């Protein structure tokens, strides 16, 4: 009887002996999924039913020649679909969070690496070969658990630079693990704030993420409570300037994670030096000193204290070295939500001012150069001509001569710009040309800022001074 049953089920087994009865029963137990818990069985059955439904729907669509749907309306708040979606998202994120390494796990990992490494006699660096790498993997799995196993794959070992003996530096590997854990945790935190689960964050959601980070950032934990909201607003604006170039009002989470902005923000985990110079503290946009500088700058420029900047007020930016035509063009192209009064011109609000500052402080980036190029493109044709260069440089030349410098020949400057860009079309310069030449930021400074032109004109002397100061610092 038992033999015929096994044959019907596709198993080729010898007749069961009394001593083998437990083997057959165990196999039947495994096949029946009875070993799974009730929750796991439910998940398995739900997955099977949904998969069958999808296959049946797909089959009917193919037979009927229907174009697959590419848009699905989001469920309404409070609906069953919305509730199920939120619950599924919560459970998924919790599962991903549970398999992450925590601080204690990272300490254990580093200890295992240190105790099972080799010291390079020539360089003094600490390294491991592949055999030690596999041994460390086993030790970490015993002490931490299987969640660390994925970091010790052969493909991960091959990612790192190896010496002539095939060894990798343990510090590089450890930093890789830390960065992976940090980015994964950041993605989980951002996904939790993504209310509609579309993979994008809106400004208020990004502000909430930054607000949650502040207590954990060493350089921001003592921030005055009344300044937190303004800080989050200024910090968020940089993320959206670089991660939302089309100004759709939402930034892709993946793009945020891969951006330099997040890395710059995470630098604030490090303790700041008390003796650090003011310039060093304000280099990081997300530092407290930098955000306070932005606020103070706006307040100082706003002479009439109406909360917006006029063209005349903005001309005081950067000690008045920017040209009038550039400021006019900035208003024409980028002042979107300025406050207006009947009979008065548009004025720049704080949002537009942040864009203005970010563009000027990041002229070498595609986003900053795109902002400035729209101002340089006087006719809105998408390219610059020799006539545009003459018009733009006229104000720079006037400011240059006013402070007692030598006479400038605009044609020489125009030819130099053309030589720097080497445009595809010899009669016009496009934004693509500016980006390709890798000197777009320098060219933009020459056309909008007399101080920028001075820096270019004295570039050799400045490089020599930097080299001398470096030699002095090295000697000290």
Domain boundary among 172, 192, 212: 192
Residues 410-459: tens digit of each pLDDT? 899 999 999 999 999 999 999 999 999 999 999 999 999 999 999 888 87
In a shared domain, residues 173 and 244:
no
Reported as a pLDDT band with limits 50, 70 and 90, residue 9 is: very low
- Residues 273 and 203: beta-carbon distance below 8 Å: no
In this prediction, residue 366 carries a pLDDT of 94
How much is the average pLDDT of 313-318? 93
- Residue 29's pLDDT band, with cuts at 50, 70 and 90, is low
Is residue 186 located within the same domain as residue 199?
no
Mean pLDDT score, 109-127: 83
* Domain enclosing residue 179, as ranges: 83-192
Residues 157 and 263 in one domain: no
Half-sphere exposure (Cβ direction) of 350: Cα atoms closer than 13 Å: 15
Mean local confidence (pLDDT), 42-52: 83
Average pLDDT for residues 3-28, to the nearest whole number?
Answer: 52
Given this model, what pLDDT does residue 25 score? 65
446 part of a folded domain: yes
pLDDT of residue 158: 92
* The predicted structure's pLDDT at residue 466: 60
Q: What is the mean pLDDT of residues 23-52?
A: 70
- Claim to verify: residue 159 and residue 205 sit in the same structural domain: no
Q: What is the pLDDT of residue 233?
A: 96
39 found inside a domain? no
* 234, 311: one domain: no
Summarize pLDDT for 59-93 with one digit per residue, the tens.
888 877 777 677 777 778 888 888 888 888 899 99
Same-domain check for residues 460 and 312: yes
181 and 206 housed in the same domain: no
Domain closes at, from 139, 157, 192: 192
Looking at 192, 225, 260, the residue that finishes a domain is 192
Between residues 14 and 51, the one the model is more confident about: 51
Q: Is the pLDDT of residue 104 over 60?
A: yes
Q: Which tens digit of pLDDT belongs to each residue from 173-196?
A: 999 999 999 999 999 999 999 988
Mean pLDDT in the chain? 84
Q: Is residue 300 included in any domain, yes or no?
A: no
8 A C-beta contact, residue 437 and residue 420: yes
Q: How many domains does the chain have?
A: 3
What was the pLDDT predicted at 335?
86
Q: Mark whether 378 and 409 lie in a shared domain.
A: yes
HEC string of the chain equals CHHHHHHHCCCCCCCCCHHHHHHHHHHHHHHCCCCCCHHHHHHHHHHHHHHHHHHHHHHHHHHHCCCCCCCCCCCCCCCHHHHHHHHHHHHHHHHHHHCCCCHHHHHHHHHHHHHCCEECCCCCCEEECHHHHHHHHHHHHHHCCHHHHHHHCHHHHHCCCCCCCCCEEHHHHHHHHHHHHHHHHHHHHHHHHCCCCCCEECHHHHHHHHHHHHHHCCCCCCCCHHHHHHHHHHHHHHHHHHHCCCCCCCEEHHHHHHCHHHHHHHHHHCCCCCCCCHHHHHCCCCCHHHHHHHHHHHHHHCCCCCCCECHHHHCCHHHHCECHHHHHHHHHHHCCCCCCCCCCCCCECHHHHHHHHHHHHCCCCHHHHHHHHHHHCCCCCCEECHHHHHHHHHHHHHHHHHCCCCCCCHHHHHHHHHHHHCCCCCCCEEHHHHHHCCCHHHHHHHHHEHHHHHHHHCHHHHHHHHHHHHHHHHHC
Q: Summarize the confidence of residues 199-211 as an average pLDDT.
A: 95
Say if 277 falls within a structural domain.
no
Residues 312 and 444 grouped into a single domain: yes
Task: Verify that 95 and 182 share a domain, yes or no.
Answer: yes
Q: pLDDT band for 286, please (50, 70, 90 cuts).
A: very high
Query: The domain that contains 238 carries what CATH number?
Result: 1.10.238.220
210 within a domain of the structure (yes/no): yes
Q: Are residues 456 and 310 in the same domain?
A: yes
Q: What percent of the chain has pLDDT over 70?
A: 84
């Amino acid at each position: 009887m038992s033999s015929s049953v096994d044959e019907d089920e596709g198993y080729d087994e010898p007749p069961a002996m009394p001593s083998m009865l437990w083997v057959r029963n165990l196999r039947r137990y495994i096949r029946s999924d009875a070993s799974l818990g009730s929750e796991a069985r439910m998940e398995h059955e739900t997955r099977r039913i949904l998969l069958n439904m999808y296959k049946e729907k797909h089959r009917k669509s193919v037979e009927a020649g229907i174009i697959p749907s590419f848009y699905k309306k989001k469920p309404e708040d409070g609906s069953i679909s919305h509730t199920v979606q939120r619950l599924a998202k919560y459970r998924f994120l919790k599962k991903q969070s549970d398999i992450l390494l925590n601080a204690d796990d990272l300490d254990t990992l580093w200890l295992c690496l240190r105790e099972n490494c080799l010291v390079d006699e020539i360089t003094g660096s600490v390294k491991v070969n592949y055999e030690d790498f596999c041994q460390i993997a086993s030790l970490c799995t015993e002490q931490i658990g299987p969640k660390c196993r994925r970091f010790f794959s052969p493909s991960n070992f091959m990612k790192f630079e190896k010496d002539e003996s095939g060894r990798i530096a343990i510090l590089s590997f450890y930093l890789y693990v830390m960065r992976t854990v940090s980015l994964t945790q950041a993605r989980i935190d951002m996904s939790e704030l993504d209310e509609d689960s579309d993979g994008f964050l809106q400004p208020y959601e990004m502000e909430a993420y930054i607000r949650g980070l502040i207590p954990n950032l060493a350089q921001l934990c003592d921030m005055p409570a009344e300044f937190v909201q303004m800080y989050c607003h200024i910090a968020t604006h940089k993320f959206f300037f670089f991660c939302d170039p089309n100004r759709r009002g939402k930034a892709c989470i993946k793009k945020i994670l891969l951006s330099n902005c997040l890395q710059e923000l995470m630098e604030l985990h490090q303790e700041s030096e008390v003796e650090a110079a003011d310039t060093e503290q304000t280099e990081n946009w997300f530092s407290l000193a930098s955000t306070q500088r932005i606020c103070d700058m706006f307040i100082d420029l706003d002479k009439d204290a109406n909360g917006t900047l006029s063209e005349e007020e903005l001309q005081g930016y950067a000690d008045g070295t920017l040209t009038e035509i550039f400021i006019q063009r900035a208003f024409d192209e980028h002042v979107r939500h300025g406050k207006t009064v009947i009979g008065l011109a548009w004025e720049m609000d704080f949002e537009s001012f942040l864009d203005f500052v970010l563009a000027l402080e990041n002229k070498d980036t595609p986003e900053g150069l795109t902002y400035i190029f729209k101002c340089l493109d006087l006719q809105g044709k998408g390219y610059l001509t020799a006539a545009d260069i003459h018009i733009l440089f006229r104000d720079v030349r006037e400011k240059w001569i006013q402070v007692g410098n030598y006479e400038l020949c605009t044609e020489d400057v125009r030819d130099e710009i053309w030589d720097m860009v080497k445009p595809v079309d010899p009669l016009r310069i496009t934004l693509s040309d500016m980006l390709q030449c890798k000197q777009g930021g320098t060219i933009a400074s020459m056309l909008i800022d007399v101080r920028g032109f001075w820096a270019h004109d004295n570039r050799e002397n400045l490089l020599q001074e930097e080299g001398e100061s470096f030699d002095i610092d090295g000697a000290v």
